[in-house]
Amino acid sequence: MDQSGDIETSDGGGMLERNGSSFYDDKDLVGAREPLLRKRTMNTTSQIAIVGANLCPVESLDYEIVENDLFKQDWRSRKRVQIFQYITLKWTLCLLIGLGTGFVGFFNNLAVENIAGFKLLQTSNLMLERRFFEAFVAFAGCNLILAALAAALCAYIAPAAAGSGIPEVKAYLNGVDAPSILAPSTLFVKIFGSIGGVSAGFVLGKEGPMVHTGSCIAFFLGQGGSRKYHLTWTWLRYFKNDRDRRDLITCGAAAGVAAAFRAPVGGVLFALEEAASWWRSALLWRTFFTTAVVAVVLRALIEFCRGGKCGLFGEGGLIMFDLSASVATYSVPDLIAVLVLGILGGFLGSLYNFFLDKILRSYSVINEKGAPYKILLTIAISLLTSCCAYGLPWLAKCTPCPANIQEQCPTIGRSGNFKNFQCPPGHYNDLASLFLNTNDDAIRNLFSKGTYDEFCISTLFIFFAAVYFLGLVTYGIAVPSGLFIPVILAGATYGRIVGTILGPITDLDTGLFALLGAASFLGGTMRMTVSVCVILLELTNDLLMLPLVMLVLLISKTVADSFNKGVYDQIVKMKGLPYMEAHAEPYMRNLVAGDVVSGPLITFSGVEKVGNIVQALRITGHNAFPVVNEPPFADAPELCGLVLRSHLLVLLKGKGFTKERVPTGVVEVLRRFGAFDFAKPGSGKGIKFEDLHILEEEMDMYVDLHPITNTSPYTVVETMSLAKAAVLFRELGLRHLCVVPKTPGRPPIVGILTRHDFMPEHILGLFLHVEPHK
């Protein structure tokens, strides 16, 4: 668990010797100022999160550069060629992420189009032969098999692959390291589980999983491969730190959006607006380069498939709608319609988030019972979806084919706006045209221009109710599932309803109303504005609609924010991931940093006895310890810096001990270690406490901690407002924030703030009379 020096230790703390180590009383930790009555001092909140259906301990990531003597010596010794290699490697990895994500996105589309196309083709052929029951059995049977396979992959191999993965990626980029969320097994299941789930006809998308997939690819490359799967690359030693890996995963998330929507600029803005908690101009350039590579790869592969070389694959798998030929002039009545759509989208989006939260909490009870229950739940939802998709079109009447159309009517095959279903020749079933298609083709049908009379208003109401309900009950089952497609489907449907009703008084095409409806529902559920706006404009190739899309997104987000949070923020909170918001809560302004630090605090001397270090590592789970120089190494006790647990383990394993309590300096450490020996290893590769084998006689020896101590940790004075400290902690991407005393004559450090000390659960548990902001 992510416990640092601010968390109370076990009762065994008294066994540590005083020689160079300190235990300060709790009253000293809080400081002279204690205006509020505290309930407790032990911080146990927010250290367990839901990953898959399991409760797992979570740790924080540390984006701070550890500026110790080893780091400084290493950078001084680097030549210009090595710096050039480091920069080149960053851009090379961005190139590889773009290539990998582009190929995976194309493979997903290729597989879904061919598998779903074959299923729909068989169903259509049986329907033409009037073998309706056999058609349903074939349709539902294929869906059930695909759903069961996808659920089995998730349940037994990688439970963390279920869902969209965007909340987990968002939490990781915020500094939360939950187990397995970016592991190679999760990547494998995300790809093939997403193919199975989308092909099974569920009301879900592969766009959210593509964000997770791109992040997993970036994580895999940044880790230097995987020792568990015998894929390791030592040439990636430069990336043995959380900061560089975070940048790569940000590029991966942007590449996932670019691969899902063929929207490179939208991918960059999505990473900036929704995913990343930290941004800089250099990262912007690398992210843009990565998404550009994705766009080029997809364009090349699509051109290759245009000649029918990829089976049933066409443009359907990459949702691209060209509305540029539609009339984009609008008047005052059109603006009133946009206002109505924005308000409707905000209300329906907040309601969607409310119901989704309740359903996910109910599903978690079922999923906790084990893998068989996850698979059974998935099968049940698959049968429900198949019954709706095949049964509801029977409620729709047959419509004569429109005259003077270029498309085939009725459509024979898998896609198109005019499905025959049970209708006689020359007629089509408009509801079947939406249900018995891939989700991408259904969206294309709704967005199609010049089709005012193609869908009856009753059909649109039925389809909206079904998609709204099925989207809610589908998200949360044990398959990789994205929310973009269900939200776009539902939003486009009610947008078309509004366009149909207001047809006599507006000049806008119903396809454009569908686009605005999709934008309003996206704004109401996900609360993203800039990135969604650009993604939709890149999808539709209609820049003239920019003002209306901006307006509808702003209105829907404003309305929805008055009811609840965005869907991804709700899921992050429900999972228990300790996410730090960009703003501080109002009640934090009435508290100071010294109010929430916990204790007792363990410190080390600059030259510490080995036994004290071993004992502290054994009885605590702290990940950083303050190093305090005392006489004879300093005139008075002074804070030297912070030393990381991982660095202590490396130092103890190397056994560079001395019998006398004297500093050995950085030269002695460099003789035994290289700078990369102290770099952060990949997942599961680091030294553990159990790997140490310290002899009894070595316990009374000493070790110099100065060379591995971060001499410039971030510190705040104990009287700084907690709100200001929280913003500083989040913006700098810290794991530890030292709190120093305001007045002289006291120990040089009051305590250490970690992520969990800023969590509302912890603060409100300490001060019961503090009112949380609603």
pLDDT (tens digit per residue) in 421-469: 777 877 888 888 888 888 888 888 888 877 667 788 999 999 999 999 9
Collapsing DSSP to helix, strand or coil, 745 comes out as coil
DSSP code for 211: H
Over 60: is that where the pLDDT of 41 sits?
no
3-state helix, strand, coil split of the chain in percent (to 5) is 55, 10, 35
Q: Which of 676, 695, 678, 696 is nearest to 687 (CA)?
A: 678
Res 290: pLDDT: 97
Over 80: is that where the pLDDT of 515 sits?
yes
Strands 607-609 and 702-704, how do they pair? antiparallel
Give the mean pLDDT of 594-598: 85
Give the mean pLDDT of 197-219: 93
Kindly give the residue spans of alpha helices, DSSP state H, lying in 40-165: 69-77, 80-128, 132-156
Collapsing DSSP to helix, strand or coil, 542 comes out as coil
| Helix H or strand E encompassing 738 | strand 737-740
pLDDT digits (tens, 9 = 90+) for 459-499: 999 999 999 999 999 998 999 998 999 999 999 999 999 98
Res 604: pLDDT: 93
Distance separating alpha carbons of residues 684 and 369, to the nearest angstrom: 28
Reported residue count of the chain is 774
Collapsing DSSP to helix, strand or coil, 772 comes out as coil
Give the mean pLDDT of 500-528: 88
pLDDT digits (tens, 9 = 90+) for 379-392: 999 999 999 999 99
Taking a C-beta distance cutoff of 8 angstroms, is the pair 197, 438 a contact? no
Collapsing DSSP to helix, strand or coil, 703 comes out as strand
pTM of the predicted protein model: 0.89
pLDDT band at 316 (very low <50, low <70, confident <90, very high): very low
Res 62: pLDDT: 85
Give the mean pLDDT of 661-669: 82
Res 138: pLDDT: 93
Strands 48-51 and 399-400, how do they pair? unpaired
Percentage of the chain with pLDDT > 70?
86
Rg (CA), the chain: 29
Tokens of 438: 């891939």
Give the mean pLDDT of 649-656: 87
Res 36: pLDDT: 42
pLDDT band at 601 (very low <50, low <70, confident <90, very high): confident
pLDDT digits (tens, 9 = 90+) for 738-770: 999 998 888 899 999 999 899 888 888 888 888
pLDDT digits (tens, 9 = 90+) for 243-292: 888 999 999 999 999 999 889 999 999 999 999 988 888 899 999 999 99
Query: 52 versus 479: which is more confidently predicted?
Result: 479
Distance separating alpha carbons of residues 417 and 444, to the nearest angstrom: 9
Res 45: pLDDT: 47
The rounded mean pLDDT for the chain is 84
Q: How many CB atoms lie within 10 A of CB 466?
A: 21
